[in-house]
Amino acid sequence: MDDRVLGTDFTVSSIGLGCMGFSHAYGAPTEEQQAIRAIRSAYDMGYTLFDTAEVYGTQDDPHANERLVGKALKDVRDQVQIISKFGIRFDESSSEVNKPLIPDARCAVIRASVEGSLRRLGTDRIDLYFQHRIDPDVEPEVVAGVMADLIREGKILHWGISEANEDYLRRAHAVCPVTAVENRYSMMARQYEALFPALEELRVGFVAFSPMANGLLAGVYGKDSQFDPKLDYRSNMPQFTAQAAEQNRQLLQLLHNLAAQKSATPAQISLAWMLCKKPWIVPIPGTRKPERMRENAGAADVRLTVDEVAALDRALDTIPMSAVFGGTRVTKQFCNVLQLD
């Protein structure tokens, strides 16, 4: 796999691994040793960028994913880049499978979060530290000031904003340069393309999460696919309903047709489309299966011309498709408790 540069100088593999699903949101957590083997197999395939967060876990073990990623990458730590995130917690009072998010970017909370993440990851620095969601009660300049301090202290090397908008990005970037945003982006969720001119102007990279619309664009799910209603977010996502299967038929056929022309798979086409669009886009598809990791890594070898990307964009502008999961609901509840574990 080749490399890409986020921001001005942060070199990563052109495709990263989203590690959340090993511990959170996609069914029962993977057994630890099996998960460690899978993450290491990704490293052996050429992945160097691994994405986690302090809140990826279970109700019994809320921070499980960071511990898992730290264990899996311990003996190759200097050869990989680890992403983690701060600034949200889940509303555990909710009965929803996809519990609402409570943003909290107060300075003391950030400080507690970074120390907790460093301990759980078993490392002395986080390569790229994202504000997980914008906190409307804390100005971007304040958050950026804390990030500048953490960079000076060597606790983080780079920082970014997840689900960033242009105004927040510009204000934060003026205080402490932002290396990347991490936003939802796929053929079914293109709203953040409006941010691309600002990213190019500021030299900020784009880490694309859910790059296959939570797996739908891999073309392996049908109208009869079932997901655990207590543990799997997909059980509540509109693109996985029986009605959506018919609504997305033309979209998936488009992917299958182009995949056949390119000797690729639909998943690879959906990733190659964004890789070939901009040199500073890095998708982080999540999977727990080494065979899927290998398939996704192969997208880096699929070449789409400028004309082919433009033709896909035109098709996506007009082709029918279902609604797609747009993110967890954000609420706001003041909480005096710092996350120290």
% of the chain at pLDDT higher than 70: 97
Q: What is the pLDDT of residues 155-204, one digit of tens each?
A: 999 999 999 999 999 999 999 999 999 999 999 999 999 999 999 999 99
Report yes or no: 125 and 96 within 8 Å, Cβ to Cβ.
no
Tokens of 259: 């995949």
| Mean pLDDT along residues 319-340 | 75
How much is the pLDDT for 333?
58
What mean pLDDT is predicted for residues 68-77?
98
Q: For the residues of 234-292, what is the DSSP string, one character each?
A: GGG-GGGSHHHHHHTHHHHHHHHHHHHHHT--HHHHHHHHHHTT-TTEEE--B-S-HHH
| Active site members | 56
Tell me what the pLDDT averaged over the chain comes to.
95
Question: Which pLDDT score is estimated for 291?
Answer: 98
Token pair 């990279």 is at which residue? 205
Give the integer Cα–Cα distance in Å for 90 and 80.
Answer: 29
For residue 291, the tally of other CB atoms under 10 A from its CB is 9
pLDDT digits 0-9 by tens, 107-156: 999 999 999 999 999 999 999 999 999 999 999 999 999 999 999 999 99
Return the SS3 of 36: helix
Q: Is residue 277 within 8 Å of residue 308, measured between CB atoms? A: no
As given in the structure block, the two tokens for residue 118 are: 């460093």
Q: Give the predicted TM-score (pTM) of the model.
A: 0.95
Residue 13 has pLDDT above 60, yes or no: yes
How far is residue 26's CA from residue 227's CA, in Å, rounded to a whole number?
Answer: 8
Alpha-carbon distance of 6 to 29, in angstroms, equals: 31
CB 122 within 8 A of CB 96: no
Report the pLDDT value the prediction gives residue 97, as an integer from 0 to 100. 83
- Report the C-alpha gap between 153 and 69 in whole angstroms: 23
How does 239-265 read in b/e, with b if 16+ C-beta sit within 10 Å? bbeeebbeebeebbebbeebbeebebb
The first and second tokens of residue 192, run together, are 């953040």
Answer yes or no: is pLDDT of 339 > 60.
no
What is the tens place of the pLDDT at every residue in 256-273? 999 999 999 999 999 999
Which amino acid does the sequence have at 339? Q
Checking if the pLDDT of 337 tops 50, the result is no
* Confidence check: pLDDT of 338 > 80: no
Long-range CB contacts for residues 251-260, cutoff 8 Å, separation at least 24: 251/187, 251/188, 251/217, 251/316, 251/319, 251/320, 251/321, 252/217, 252/219, 254/312, 254/315, 254/319, 255/217, 255/219, 256/219, 258/308, 258/312
Helix (H) or strand (E) run with residue 140 in it: helix 140-152
Residue 273: predicted pLDDT: 98
Contact 157, 147 (CB under 8 A): no
Out of 42-46, 220-224, 227-231, 313-317, least confident range: 220-224
Q: How many CB atoms lie within 10 A of CB 222?
A: 10
Percent of the chain with pLDDT over 90: 89
